[in-house]
Structure 1
């Protein structure tokens, strides 16, 4: 009984860490700064399609978080700036991209 409880708590803590703990090594970037450096970075918009369609960011790869595992190879091998709708989406997408070998250097959270 106690071993099962320890295993459940461990998985719960890993889930919470993956979603809510900030990712270290990336900085917040302003969209105006990102627009000047589009040759140096790839902008990946990880918001839902309906959110990114209403607020289009030019030259951004629109790949929502659930599709990142399947379509990460569409992103060029450049430094990546993640555009997210909230901090949970930013954390999850950054961790997915880093696990796939991509280098995320910044993020921007778009608030409604």
Structure 2
């Protein structure tokens, strides 16, 4: 089974502090959908890859809450199950953008 989680939000979801090498420990059961084409991670927008920070904006090189969430929740699933993260944080964007039909006017 493949459990998919949307990582919606603004800059706090994308992350702020720079990730360290220790943060980049990979688990092949945790996947991320490419947020953008990123030479630094080798990710391609719209393609699944093994998750490691940054999950969102490539230029930011940050670690956000989605990384720790996935590393914590994966232990609740059977060994043959995986987690998929869909990063959708947009720094500085209005929260209404993330609401159904663009939010209330």
Fold similarity call, TM over 0.5: no
Normalising by structure 1, what TM-score? 0.28
The one of the two structures with greater contact order (alpha-carbon pairs below 8 A, sep at least 6) is 2
Normalising by structure 2, what TM-score? 0.29
The structure carrying a bigger helix percent of its residues is 1
Q: Which has the larger radius of gyration?
A: 1
